[in-house]
Amino acid sequence: MFTKLGLRFAALAYLALLLIVPVGIIGAHTFSGGLGPVWDSLTVPDAVKALELTLEIAIIVVPLNTVFGITMAILMVRRELPGKALLSALIDLPFAVSPVIVGFTLILVYGQQGWFGSFFVDRGYQIIFSTPGMVLATMFVSLPFVAREVIPVLREIGTEQEQAAATLGARSHQTFRRVTLPAIRWGIVYGVVLTTARSIGEYGAVAVVSGNVIGQTQTLTLRVSQEYQNFDHTAAYTAALELAVIALVTLFLMNLFHPRKDR
Amino acid sequence: MTTVALPRRRASGAALPSAAPGVAITYLSVIVLLPLAALLWQSQKGGADAFWQAVSSPDAAAALELTLGAALLVALNNAVFGTLIAWMIVRDSFPGKGIVNSLIDLPFALPTVVAGLTLLTLYGPYSPIGLNITYTRTAVVLALLFETLPFVIRSVQPVLLELDREMEEAAASLGARGHVVFRRIVLPNLLPAILSGMALAFARAVGEYGSVVMLSGNVPFSTEVASVHIYSQIQSDYVTGATAMSIVLLAISLAVLLSISALHRRSSKHVH
């Protein structure tokens, strides 16, 4: 009995010191100067711009990666493809690459001395130190989530219902819309939640390719670190609190939609 | 019109427009493969000597050593505390357990830079408890512990949940004490899950940037980790150095992830 209590205490103390107390304190710290300064730093033009850019990137990245993820999952589970193991490893690859490396490789491709750098510059497009580069970086890091969540669900539901629908004369797009899609929808939603959270929260990859021009290429995460370095702590904590609120909403949705049985 | 010879029979299941496989694979190639190919191309440009010189330069070697050491420490620590916390969530019951269980995923949801700022608030120069660990290697380890917390827990939890209680009860009825039951019955069953969680945590820790950069002070030869080292090489336009270190980190993470999938294949064969 005492060992059990002791172990419980050790586990909870560990979680408290590492996770719960620090995250709780950030809220307290943000509002330490009262509501006024927080409101001011939420609404200054640079802060609004940072939020807008963050959402803009997510709005471009999430739908593209979602369509890709669903397509890839169907390919992996329902089609005979040569080199499936390799393809599966490629889909997971972004999880193995440090965000800084992601940004660096994009500079090698699209930067001034990069493979396609002069091609785009000659045509008047700037990729690196600009929004397109940040979109590409975010696409890279959040690519696997939807496919990873949909693949096991698709495997589990099997093909019987789809075959039944086909036997009854449903066309393949009807089968997809009326049988497959409803069956995998929670897997998709969960994948979309993770993709969105990662898109909004990405820092390292975006930091490398952004150039960090305030009001132009500054996202919320970049704002947190930059304002902290500029000793404008209220601005840094306000941006961090915005992101923390998004994270808590994400966490709530993750628990709501989680397909695993262990909850 | 497409010339891709793929089975398009309805009976094979879900429908995809005939161009979909090609488009999806092109997307994957442009977003992921093209940048990584550029990195590989860049790494062989200077030749083996330049590559070796860049990774073995004192500051690069120090950063790599710190990164691998800290990642190993963190993975081992997670093996102990992750298993303990998973055990608590599955086997123990106390009020508020559901909330604790959902909070475990917070490090996955919270942006790394916010995690860094969070830890900085409690354990930084303005610490309310007077505990300032910035500019020490403890800061690196702490940031990595935060970011990798869920891996072992989430990998052990389902296995522990499925584990047959009868084995443990049989051992106990034959007179085995609690710690013997744990060592001889529970632990061997959990080991593959613990190892795979550790490997994921290790791979994540090796590449982590945002939380460490906020907390550690990034002093070369002391608290500068590999990813921060790459970042500063990029800033100073030292492409060869950034490339070499990137290749080393990438090779380590890939090796770790490949060994996990090998582990999974082995343990799933074992079960069936």
pLDDT per position as a tens digit, A160-188: 888 898 899 888 888 888 888 898 998 99
Residue B133 neighbours by CB distance under 10 Å: 22
Confidence grade of residue B93 (pLDDT, cut at 50, 70, 90): confident
Give me the amino acid identity at A233: H
Output DSSP code: residue A180: I
Answer yes or no: do B85 and A14 touch at CB < 8 A: yes
What lies within 8 Å, CB to CB, of B107 at 6+ separation is: A19, B115, B146, B147, B148, B149, B150
Residue A52: the pLDDT is: 94
- What's the predicted TM-score (pTM) here? 0.89
The interaxial angle of helices B187-207 and B58-91, nearest 10 deg, is: 140
Are the C-beta atoms of residues A112 and A73 closer than 8 Å to each other?
Answer: no
3-state helix, strand and coil shares in percent for chain A, rounded to the nearest 5: 80, 0, 20
- Residues in A closer than 8 angstroms to B213, CB to CB, are 204, 225
pLDDT digits (tens, 9 = 90+) for B146-175: 999 999 999 999 999 988 888 888 888 898
Task: In whole angstroms, give the CA distance from residue A120 to residue A116.
Answer: 6
Output DSSP code: residue B110: S
Place of tokens 């100067």: A33
Tokens of B118: 């969070």
- Residues in B closer than 8 angstroms to A96, CB to CB, are 203, 207, 250, 253-254, 256-257
Handedness of CA A118, A124, A126, A132 (dihedral sign): negative
SS3 A227: helix
* A172 Cβ under 8 Å from any chain B Cβ: yes
Are the C-beta atoms of residues A150 and A70 closer than 8 Å to each other?
Answer: yes
Answer yes or no: do B32 and A90 touch at CB < 8 A: yes
* A176 Cβ under 8 Å from any chain B Cβ: yes
pLDDT digits (tens, 9 = 90+) for B61-87: 999 999 999 999 999 999 999 999 999
Answer yes or no: do B111 and A247 touch at CB < 8 A: yes
Handedness of CA B39, A218, B233, A127 (dihedral sign): positive
How many A/B residue pairs have CB atoms within 8 Å? 277
Residue A172: the pLDDT is: 83
Answer yes or no: do A180 and B13 touch at CB < 8 A: yes
pLDDT digits (tens, 9 = 90+) for B104-128: 989 989 999 999 999 999 899 888 8
Mean pLDDT score of chain A? 88
pLDDT digits (tens, 9 = 90+) for B187-213: 999 999 999 999 999 999 999 999 999
Task: In whole angstroms, give the CA distance from residue A122 to residue A236.
Answer: 38
A:50-109 residues touching chain B, CB 8 A cutoff: 64, 68, 71-72, 74-75, 78-81, 87, 89-109
Confidence grade of residue B268 (pLDDT, cut at 50, 70, 90): low
Q: Which of B210, B2, B35 is nearest to B116 (CA)?
A: B210
How large is the ipTM?
Answer: 0.88
Task: In whole angstroms, give the CA distance from residue B236 to residue B231.
Answer: 9
Residue A118: the pLDDT is: 85
Residue B246: the pLDDT is: 96
Q: Which of B190, B177, B265, B182 is nearest to A85 (CA)?
A: B265
Residue of chain A whose alpha carbon sits nearest to that of B109: A247
Answer yes or no: do A261 and B158 touch at CB < 8 A: yes
- Residues in B closer than 8 angstroms to A64, CB to CB, are 27
What is the total residue count of chain A?
263
What lies within 8 Å, CB to CB, of A105 at 6+ separation is: B35, B36, B38, B39, B246
Answer yes or no: do B261 and A260 touch at CB < 8 A: no
At residue B224, what are phi and psi to the nearest 5 degrees? -85, 120
- Residues in A closer than 8 angstroms to B36, CB to CB, are 93, 97, 105
Q: Which of B39, B56, B44 is nearest to B234 (CA)?
A: B39
Answer yes or no: do A19 and B242 touch at CB < 8 A: no
Residue A259: the pLDDT is: 57
Task: In whole angstroms, give the CA distance from residue A148 to residue B20.
Answer: 18
Q: How far is A15 from chain B (nearest CA, A)?
A: 8
> Mean pLDDT of successive 10-residue segments in chain A (263 residues)?
80 86 81 84 91 95 96 90 83 90 96 87 87 96 94 89 89 87 90 94 95 81 93 91 90 77 40
Q: How far is B218 from chain A (nearest CA, A)?
A: 13
Residue A159: the pLDDT is: 87
SS3 A130: coil
Tokens of B95: 């009020």
Answer yes or no: do B207 and A254 touch at CB < 8 A: no
Residue B250 parent element (H or E): helix B239-271
User: B55, exposed or middle or buried, with CB in 10 Å at 0-12, 13-18, 19+?
Assistant: middle
pLDDT at B12 over 80: no
Residue of chain A whose alpha carbon sits nearest to that of B244: A101
Question: Which candidate from B128, B206, B214 shows the least CB-CB separation from A225?
Answer: B214
Answer yes or no: do B114 and A243 touch at CB < 8 A: yes
Q: How far is A177 from chain B (nearest CA, A)?
A: 9
Answer yes or no: do B234 and A207 touch at CB < 8 A: no
Q: Where are the alpha helices (DSSP H) in A83-216?
A: 84-96, 99-110, 117-122, 131-141, 144-157, 160-167, 172-175, 181-201, 204-210
Domains of chain B: 50-271 (1.10.3720.10)
With vertex at residue A50, the alpha carbon angle to CA A47 and CA A52, rounded to the nearest 5 degrees, is: 110
- Residues in A closer than 8 angstroms to B110, CB to CB, are 23, 201, 243-244, 247
Mutate one of B100, B121, B147, B261 to test the A interface: name it (highest A CB count within 10 A): B121
Question: Which candidate from A19, A139, A166 shows the least CB-CB separation from B31?
Answer: A139
pLDDT at B2 over 70: no
Tokens of A46: 């640079």
